[in-house]
Structure 1
Amino acid sequence: MADRQRADARRNYAHILAVAESEVAEHGGSASLEQIARVAGVGSATVRRHFPTRRALLEAVSRQRIEALATRAHELTGTGDSRDALLEWLTEVLTHAVTVRGLAAALAYDGTQTEPAQENSCTAALEEAAEPLLRRAAQQGAVAADATVTDLITLIVGIVLATEHHPAPAAQANRLFQLAVTGLAPRR
């Protein structure tokens, strides 16, 4: 009987997560937990049991993309020019965050914790994966020694959230990101 209940709970979770993915894709980080419950055909208490906070929901919806970005950071660590490798990874994070609604919100620091990455499993996973990539670039003098992965993720989140209603959000986000990494000095 317990195995059947666990199997039912797993199916229920998977169904709610699928509905949540659809709702977040449509409405972004502000997707309604109540609407998710209605579409999934469960009570809002059931949704909240699986996802006690909006952050937990967004993190669950973003988990696969975060894992892919973490894997990509590992792949790029130690390859080619350290700055180029770091910027390639950051550009991929930016691209994912612009094109996948809700990802920027999942990565955003919400102000409720004293340490941004400690209570945000998405940012913590990216920080752990990209730390060697950033450290190598810093050791080679290719980036500021005091830059952190959390700083860089925060920069990307800010750019994505600031451009999400722009007529061409991806192009504008990329332009602002390039401006941030090259600085304001004119190109020569």
Structure 2
Amino acid sequence: MRADAKKNYDHLLAVARAVVKEQGADASLRDIARQADVGLGTLYRHFPTREALLEALLRTTLDEMTAQAADLEASNAPDDALVTWLREAVAFTHQYRGVTELMTAALDDPESALHASCVTVRAAGARLLARAQAEGKARSDIDGTELFALIAALAWLSDQPAFGRHAPRLFEIVASAILPDRPDTEGRTPRRPKTRS
């Protein structure tokens, strides 16, 4: 890519990032082009579809989340690594409203521009989960796809005006369901519910 084309590409991405954070994944491509002070044709030359633009926006963060999972796996206890990564993943998906639907659809669509990045980040979370399960820290009846679904659900809850203020507590409830012996934010270990005989 020529230097001037790279400069235009980076500028478009920076503007698109700001607009998508403000308007969500359905942000107007026309608005992005206008705010970047380029024609719509220029935007489409760099990003032929909305998904291609979102993939370019999200790829860096998804790659960082994958790298973070590897770092946490190498340096943290299995339960701490999983809950830290889970919190970061929820924060990321909440940052770009509406992107969870695209990411979820991309998992089953190898033709999607988002497919490879989503599969990679799901696998990173699944490795952290499997490590916590192997140590007896995480419940054994959940897999990486279900973990991905819980991230999407928590991000959706955070976006809802009626539930947004409850998001931190809901995160703790979900985290304690995945990691039953994990202390809560006040250091208390939850009591397991009694089972009926």
Decide: shared fold, TM above 0.5: yes
TM-score, normalized by length of structure 1? 0.76
Q: Kindly tell me: are residues 103 and 60 of structure 1, through their superposed partners in 2, closer, same or farther at Cα, counting changes over 3 Å?
A: farther
Q: Which of these residues, 28, 38, 42, is aligned with residue 38 of structure 2?
A: 42
CA separation of 1:162 and 1:92: change in aligned 2, threshold 3 A: same
Alignment of 1:83-162 (within 5 A): 83-98=79-94, 100-102=95-97, 104-105=99-100, 108-110=103-105, 113-114=108-109, 119-145=114-140, 147-162=142-157
> Partners in 2 of 1:12 and 1:62 — Cα distance?
18
What TM-score does the superposition give when structure 2 sets the normalisation length? Answer: 0.73
State the structure with bigger RCO (CA 8 A, min sep 6), 1 or 2. 1
Report the RMSD for the aligned CA atoms in angstroms. Answer: 3.2
Equivalent residue, structure 1, for 2:5:
9
CA contact (8 A) 1:51 1:57 kept: yes
Change (3 A) 1:128 1:23: same
Counterpart-to-counterpart distance in 1, 2:76 and 2:11: 42
- Superposed structure 1 runs of 4+ greater than 6 Å apart: 115-118
Partner of 2:167: 173
Amino acid at match of 2:129: L
Residue in structure 2 matched with residue 73 of structure 1 by the alignment: 69
Identify if the C-alpha distance between structure 1 residues 130 and 20 changes in structure 2 by more than 3 Å, giving closer, same or farther. Answer: same
**Offset of residue 10 of structure 1:** 1.2
Query: Would you say the 8 A contact 1:96–1:103 is kept in 2?
Result: no
Structure 2 gap segments, 5+ residues each: 181-189, 192-197
SS of the residue corresponding to residue 147 of structure 1 reads: coil
Structure 2: how far apart are the matches of 1:148 and 1:114?
20
Structure 1, unmatched stretches of 5+, are none
After superposition, the Cα gap between the structure-2 partners of 1:148 and 1:54, relative to the gap in structure 1 and judged at 3 Å, is farther
Compared CA separation, residues 117 and 146, structure 1 to 2 (3 A)? farther
Are the structure 2 counterparts of residues 136 and 61 from structure 1 closer, same or farther at C-alpha, using a change threshold of 3 Å? same
Q: 1:114 to 1:39 in 2, by over 3 A?
A: closer
Task: Verify: 1:60 aligned to 2:65, yes or no.
Answer: no
